[in-house]
């Protein structure tokens, strides 16, 4: 009887450990479905907002994103994100006049070097041709609303909007 209790006890312990190890793998699909149904998404202050249009250029495109405005408790200013992609086809020095709002009038003049080294520091200059936007010299990664950064195969430039 003692031996039977030991066998049943050890068997139950092994089964419990196996169950504890296997349950996350079995339920991960269900957890994923529940998480996806919550409707959570990355805040636009980080993602740059949805793309509204692309401007084709010789060998690359400039993606223009929707204007992003800060939410409650966010201290950043409003901005528009521009993506130059793919990096491999960009000229060594990008010097572009961009129509952000799609009215066929130039809004900003953006200049930056596009080094082949993905870890190289980037600096940009933005000259506002429309009073809605802010000119910036020596733009780096100081703020989320005004930056230049390389992400995967694109160089992102965020153009801050002037205070209204």
Per-residue pLDDT of the chain (164 residues; tens, 9 = 90+): 788 888 888 999 999 998 888 888 877 888 788 878 888 878 888 888 999 999 999 899 999 999 999 888 888 889 999 999 999 999 999 999 999 988 999 999 999 999 989 889 999 999 999 999 999 988 877 787 888 999 989 999 999 999 86
**Backbone dihedral region for residue 79 (phi beyond 0: left; psi -120 to 50: alpha; all else: beta):** beta
| CA distance linking residue 140 with residue 7, whole number of Å | 67
């Amino acid at each position: 009887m003692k031996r039977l209790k030991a066998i049943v006890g050890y068997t139950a312990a092994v089964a419990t450990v196996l169950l504890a190890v296997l349950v996350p793998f079995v339920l991960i699909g269900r957890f994923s479905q529940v998480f996806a149904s919550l409707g959570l998404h990355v805040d636009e202050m980080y993602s740059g907002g949805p793309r509204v249009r692309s401007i084709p250029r010789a060998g690359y495109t400039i993606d223009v994103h929707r204007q992003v405005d800060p939410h409650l408790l966010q201290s950043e200013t409003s901005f528009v994100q521009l993506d130059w992609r793919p990096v491999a086809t960009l000229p060594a020095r990008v010097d572009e006049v961009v129509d952000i709002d799609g009215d066929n009038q130039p809004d900003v003049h953006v200049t930056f070097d596009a080094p082949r080294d993905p870890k190289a520091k980037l600096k940009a200059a933005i000259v506002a041709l429309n009073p809605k936007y802010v000119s910036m010299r020596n733009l780096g990664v100081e703020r989320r609303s005004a930056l230049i950064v390389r992400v995967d195969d694109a160089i992102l430039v965020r153009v801050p909007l002037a205070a209204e």
